[in-house]
Structure 1
Amino acid sequence: MGGSVITPEDVLESLMNDGTIDTIRLKIINQLKNNEELKRNTITMVEQSKVLNTPGAEKQTKRELFDALRGELETPVLEKASKAVWELILDTNGLGKEISEVVERVYRRLSGNESLSQPAFAPVEKDGEGKEREKEKPSEMGESSTRKRTYGEMNAADMGEAVLSGSSDHLPAA
């Protein structure tokens, strides 16, 4: 790509096609699952729920309670989760730093300033002799090869666009 202008869309497409967006999404989900403060806040919200603390709640079916709880708590719980995701993404020492480095590396690679043998989140395989080697990635197979993206890859575009644009409107609910 040498002298052409590299756009954020070019970088995002590369990240989607090589599986990096999916890898980042999994890291975010795993960190959210391990976020004890988020768990405690959610438990507290449920315990203090008007739905559960209303007389007669014990006579409702599980489905009725669940639907009512969802109506009451979905927005505040998702707001807290969204805030936690942005803290992860913007963290200059943890995942945020890793994301910035990956985006920079892909940008440099697309600009022709870095060798193609340095993938973003490189999957590593062992060859027949037990030596580690990079797994060939679709984006490195040549621009002329066409490949349909999976549903997961297409959904990853929403998160990638949100990361690049700084918007939380496209972030998936975690």
Structure 2
Amino acid sequence: MGSRVVTPEEVLESLMNDGTIDAIRMKIIAQLKANEDMKKNTMMMVEQSKVLNTPGAEKKTKRELFDELRRELETSVLEKASKAVWELILDSSGLGKEITETVEKVYCRLSGQEPPPPPALLPLPTTYPQEENEKESKDKQEGEKAKEMDISEPSSRKRTFSEMNALEKAEAVENGSPDRTVASEDGTLPSTNAKT
């Protein structure tokens, strides 16, 4: 079956006729109602409105207050709502992705084309960059601790010349062999004044 040119109007008409537009509209409204930032901003604007803060506002009817609030705040509230709706529509992972996929399916159905395959999923990394950084940092800290331990433990470090000399003197005294010559700290051997 050959593909034909499909106009955007045809796609829109199909989406309207099968109820998709209404379903998307309801999802957008539900997400706007759940948007806490929108609620807080709107409440703050109402609390700071001139209509409610002018003397005599308490004497007006609810209908009068509502009409005056609408005239005062409608434009700014609708601007914020419009921005939030566009963010939802253009979101590439949530509702925006769903809208794009739905439009593509309808376009393909109307034009007689096969729908595009879903994008290839990339393999998930076994570790995430933050975990790798934490692991490298931990390995580095453990390496530094090991170096500190090597320095602080006398058995695992090299002995100085004077330490070796003192050790040899102690061994000579223990063994009872005073004949053993021990070098002085400057590395020279002491002179022996032995009488022969």
Q: Under TM normalisation by the shorter chain, which class is it? A: 0.5 to 0.7
Write the distance in 2 (CA, Å) between the matches of 1:23 and 1:96.
13
CA deviation vs aligned residue, 1:116-145 (integer Å, no higher than 9, x gap) = xxxxxxxxxxxxxxxxxxxxxxxxxxxxxx
2:73 match: 73
Write the distance in 1 (CA, Å) between the matches of 2:65 and 2:83.
26
The offset of 1:57, in angstroms, is 1.1
In percent, how many aligned pairs have the same letter? 78
Higher relative CO (CA 8 A, sep ≥ 6), structure 1 or 2? 1
| Structure with greater helix share of residues | 2
Write the distance in 2 (CA, Å) between the matches of 1:98 and 1:108.
15
> Structure 1 stretches of 5 or more lacking a match?
116-174
Write the distance in 1 (CA, Å) between the matches of 2:36 and 2:3.
48
CA deviation vs aligned residue, 1:77-130 (integer Å, no higher than 9, x gap) = 111111111111111111011101111111111121238xxxxxxxxxxxxxxx
Contact 2:3 2:113 in 1 (8 A): no
Write the distance in 1 (CA, Å) between the matches of 2:53 and 2:31.
31
Write the distance in 1 (CA, Å) between the matches of 2:22 and 2:62.
34
Measured on the aligned residues, the alpha-carbon RMSD in Å equals 1.5
1:103 match: 103
Residue 7 (structure 1) aligned with residue 7 (structure 2): yes
Aligned positions of 1:1-174 closer than 5 A = 2-114=2-114
Write the distance in 1 (CA, Å) between the matches of 2:25 and 2:2.
30
Residue identity opposite 1:91 in structure 2? D
- Could you say what secondary structure the match of 1:52 adopts? helix
If the length of structure 2 is used for normalisation, what is the TM-score?
0.56
Contact 2:38 2:81 in 1 (8 A): yes
Aligned pair count reads 115
If the length of structure 1 is used for normalisation, what is the TM-score?
0.62
Write the distance in 1 (CA, Å) between the matches of 2:92 and 2:83.
16
The offset of 1:2, in angstroms, is 3.3
